[in-house]
Chain A
Amino acid sequence: MHNKSVAELSKELDSGKISSVELAQQFLDRLKQEDGKYNSFITISDEQALAEAKSADEMRAAGKATVWTGVPFAHKDIFCTNGVRTSCGSKMLENFVPPYDATVTEKFKAAGAVCLGKTNMDEFAMGSSNESSFFGAVTNPWGLSNGEKRVPGGSSGGSAAAVAARLVPAATGTDTGGSIRQPAALCGITGLKPTYGRVSRYGMIAFASSLDQGGPMARSAEDAALMMNVMAGFDPKDSTCIDRDVPDYTATLNEPLKGLRIGLPKEYFSDQLSPAMEAQVRNAVREYEKLGATVKDVSLPNAKLAIAAYYVIAPAEASANLSRFDGVRYGYRCADPKDLMDMYTRTRAEGFGNEVKRRILVGSYALSAGYFDAYYLKAQKVRRLIQQDFINAFKDVDVLMSPVTPSPAFIQGEKTTDPVSMYLEDVFTIAINLAGIPAMSVPAGFVDGLPVGLQIIGDYFSEARLLNAAHQFQQVTDWHQREPQ
């Protein structure tokens, strides 16, 4: 069962060959048995999962089943789950059990899906290797057979590793600068960062509010489309969520790609990209040509400014978003504070990890009197230029294609002492968040036995087209079906 897709599991449940409770129990057993190798889960919520499975069986018996009813999956531990610990990968929230659900959580519950637990992640989604988690690093299922412990990418590294290791068929992720696409690429799975405002952020613990976006992580574009059918849509509880009709993302998966105009941004095929990686990406583009697409080079002249702008805007927003973790109302509080200032400083010094502290300091600095114009305002101007680059590019092409990462999954510990090299992991993904447009990572080959991702970038609200392009590619390739040994 563990190799089956969401669509296939749904059929099994429909046929009555297995009940939701039986399926959940099978997955839970395997998860507990296998996850020691990966550390991809922070919390396994057996009790709630089995209760949800029981309700799913009742839903099915009552004739109210959806595609998702009884299908197991997992949430990144950034989505609040009523009654189940939500840690965001931090000591600060080590014992935090929210009394409410995120909107995304609510929607999966309403569809009858069975959440097995909460996946590991970089602390407060800050990281590209899943090594900043308070609950320990996650190991990429790829490379393990050679005895190598490689990173799964981050920050949604637990979700990516769990899906790649067949612990769950699908998991939610969030993407602020590449946190869905980069781990999807490094773990050989399919991930989509939707248009900003397409998926509600309510109950999704904020890192950088103007960039954060939840999205699907699964093995195929079809399953990602099924997830989008649940996740997408307006939410009155999120003022930045956009009120716009949600299509059935599975309805257009089989549209032919003939005439699809693909642009290759020349800035994303630079010398930062290893020749072996570039070869895999270009091979994938050739498959699209065989499917009837046309290809041309395009330019995103301001792309090189994206990392600099991002590392002002994201930390600036984070510095304020993380102020609520003060030890007053919930979460970690230092022992025996002498006075208020002591409580604040020690709570935050002890409760946050180094990467989080680094970004709070950077962000506070960028917003300080005397520096605001030079950093924050300048970065916002750059952000508009980057956005305009994409708008211009989409006048001539339907989608852009590029690598997701400069290189495949690296060995744990390799970049932890060099934050800038870690930040460069997201060199091809970050501009997309600044522009607010959607993009996917699709398995597109291997380099040295490690997965390579193809990034497909679309115009605002073009998720259906991206999923269609990915699905058609997955009909003629089998990269997404490869299983780590």
Chain B
Amino acid sequence: MQWDIVIGLEIHVQLATKTKIFSGSSTAFGAEPNTQANAVDLAMPGTLPVPNEQAFRYAVMFGLATNAEIGRRSMFERKNYFYPDLPKGYQTTQLAQPIVGPGHVDIDLADGSTKRVRIHHAHLEEDAGKSLHEDYHGMSGIDLNRAGTPLIEVVTEPDMNTAEEAVAFAKKLHSLVTSLGICDGDMSQGSMRFDVNISLKPKGSETLGTRTETKNLNSFRFMEQAIAHEVERQMDILEDGGTITQETRLYNGDRDESRSMRSKEEANDYRYFPCPDLLPVEIDDAFIEDARARLPELPDARKARFKEQYGLNDYDAGVLSGDARLAAFFEETLEHGKDAKLAANWIQGEFSARLNAEEKSVAESPISGAQLGALVTRIADNTVSSAGAKKVFEALWSGENDNVDAIIDAKGLKQVSDTGALESMVDEVLAGMPDQVAQYQSEDDPKKRKKMLGGFMGPLMKASKGQGNPKLFNEILVRKLAG
């Protein structure tokens, strides 16, 4: 049987406010446990929440960037459940009146087409703390540093039909919130977490199947794997004539396994009701216009501009515009090295490879855009060969020297492009290789001849101590051997 896959996402986006949503504690990541939890975060008796205006501003910016209606009057509710890392015994969140109403995001697919994914709503809420189950000799530790960190939870319509689309949406959202500057986008620190709702239905059927929710996926790769895994699991059950249980599942990415966390019957009755400690929040035109004025260039507009302004192809423009910091790095590179195609290749090639290899973000790169730009300039004007440029890049990366020209001089990487000097080197090398010259000249197949040229390049580069311009050597060789 053929199946349609239906996917909807819920994405928790940690907002990059300096302080928590209802208290003045810092939200910085990585501090000693419970050093960033004050009396309000600890839910000490009598303490009260005070809303952080910046969280509202960020949520409104998100709404504007996703073409959404802004909730003019939003309301916080209490979601009641007991858990040790939930200090108040309820989460302050939004339900009936969220700050961001229906909106949409367009995603680009591999076949070049574009798909619109609708957003049902996005609401503001507080994050919980963390339970630490290791190193406590059978007991659990509680770290409340994260408790009260502002989140927006983005809830999509079930508009995605493949893992590829879901990942494309997730990446697009990542690109949006990092471009907006409202989230640091650091997935390894939990700044974005995905819950995936998946159901299957017979191909073409109008009726949705029973869905499962796989919670807390914190990388694009795990998300893609979890979807593939869950689709296969559901398909196996359905094709064996079974039925899907509505439940929440947990996916273990390291083992590619999932297990049921709780079924619908076991689900909590959260007993939502309006939080009496917080008045409804009225968002007026001035607040919205202020937020609009703070919107930076968004990824779609940036991609179009990169194509137009720098003549990049669709793929390069997409990659370089997607991540705000990478885009800024690219443009900084271009300020110092005019060749956009060359810069694009270096950033997507050597630069990205090194970042990935060392698990560094663009912000942590030891090389600046200005340095890479200077290198691009020297490649473009033939001062260094691409092999030489890699050596320069290496020296920059390792911090051995921070000046491109100084490295080129110090390492003797400057190419010799003086035709007279190169010609005499060619004459000398050819004179010492009479057999190979004869062999070349008796060969009729141009392909084989081209291949045989390589045999002369080695000695030539050696003769020039690696500094001869390979392109010029090639031209001279071809001319001399023909003559």
Q: Which residues of A contact B (CB under 8 A)?
A: 78-80, 86, 88, 93, 96, 98-100, 102, 201-206, 208-210, 236-240, 316-317, 319-320, 322-324, 326, 328-330, 340, 344, 364, 367-369, 372, 376
Contact = CB atoms under 8 A, between A and B. Distances in A.
Contact of A376 (B48, B90, B273, B279): B273
Given A205-B46, A328-B142, A367 B80 contact: yes
Contacts of A369: 269, 271
B118 interface: no
B46 A206 contact: yes
A433 to B, nearest CB: 12
B90 A320 contact: yes
Interface string B23-52: 000000000000000010011111111110
B204 interface: no
B264 to A, nearest CB: 12
Contact of B45 (A93, A237, A238, A316): A93
Interface in B386-432: none
Interface string B60-102: 0000000000000000001010101001111000000000000
A48 B262 CA distance: 52
A291 B26 CA distance: 59
B79 to A, nearest CB: 10
30 contacts: A78-B46, A79-B46, A80-B44, A86-B45, A93-B45, A98-B44, A98-B45, A98-B46, A99-B44, A100-B47, A202-B46, A202-B48, A205-B45, A206-B45, A209-B276, A239-B277, A239-B279, A240-B277, A240-B278, A317-B273, A317-B276, A320-B271, A322-B89, A323-B80, A323-B88, A324-B87, A326-B89, A329-B43, A364-B271, A372-B273
Contacts of B51: 239
B277 A330 contact: no
Contacts of B44: 80, 98-100, 329-330
Contacts of A237: 48, 50
Contact of B271 (A93, A99, A329, A368): A368
Contacts of B46: 78-80, 86, 98, 102, 201-206
A355 B275 CA distance: 23
Nearest to A208: B276
Interface of A is mostly: loop
Interface of B is mostly: loop
Contacts of A203: 46-47
Contacts of B78: 320
On chain B, which size bracket covers the interface? 20 to 34
A201 B84 CA distance: 26
Contacts of A323: 80, 82, 88-90
Contact of A326 (B45, B82, B273): B82
A139 B426 CA distance: 115
Contacts of B271: 319-320, 364, 367-369, 372
B48 A201 contact: yes
Contacts of A80: 44-46
Contacts, number: 104
A96 B45 contact: yes
A79 B45 CA distance: 9
Interface of B: 39, 42-51, 78, 80, 82, 84, 87-90, 142, 269, 271-273, 276-279
A183 B203 CA distance: 71
Contacts of B50: 236-239
A369 B47 CA distance: 28
A18 to B, nearest CB: 34
B47 A202 contact: yes
A316 B269 contact: no
Contacts of A330: 42, 44
Given A86-B45, A204-B46, A328 B84 contact: yes
A329 B87 CA distance: 8
A173 B3 CA distance: 66
A328 B78 CA distance: 20
Contacts of B42: 329-330
Given A86-B46, A324-B87, 8 more contacts: A204-B46, A205-B46, A206-B277, A239-B277, A317-B276, A320-B78, A320-B90, A320-B271
Contacts of B276: 208-210, 240, 317
A467 to B, nearest CB: 27
6 tightest CB-CB pairs across the interface, nearest first?
A323-B89, A209-B276, A367-B271, A210-B276, A203-B46, A324-B43
A410 B50 CA distance: 42
A87 B276 CA distance: 23
B82 A324 contact: no
A238 B48 contact: yes
A319 B89 CA distance: 10
B269 A324 contact: no
B43 A367 contact: no
A344 B90 contact: no
Contact of A368 (B90, B269, B279): B269
Contacts of B45: 80, 86, 88, 93, 96, 98, 205-206, 324
B273 A320 contact: yes
Nearest to A197: B279
A103 to B, nearest CB: 9
Contacts of A93: 45
Which of A79, A88, A100 has the most chain B CB within a 10 Å cutoff?
A100
Nearest to B37: A329
Which of B43, B48, B78, B277 has the most chain A CB within a 10 Å cutoff?
B48
A209 B87 CA distance: 18
A364 B268 CA distance: 13
Nearest to B23: A237
Contacts of A329: 42-44, 87, 142
A340 B279 CA distance: 34
Nearest to A327: B84
A121 to B, nearest CB: 14
Contacts of B277: 206, 209, 239-240
A239 B49 contact: yes
A320 B47 CA distance: 14
Contacts of A372: 271-273
A324 B88 CA distance: 4
Contacts of A324: 43, 45, 87-89
Contacts of B80: 319-320, 323, 367
A369 to B, nearest CB: 5
A376 B272 CA distance: 11
Which of B46, B82, B271, B273 has the most chain A CB within a 10 Å cutoff?
B46
Contacts of B48: 201-202, 237-240
Contacts of B43: 324, 329
Contacts of A79: 46
A147 B49 CA distance: 48
Contacts of A88: 45
Contacts of A210: 276
B82 A367 contact: no
B221 to A, nearest CB: 33
A149 B439 CA distance: 125
B269 A320 contact: no
Contact of A367 (B87, B88, B89, B273): B273
A344 B82 contact: yes
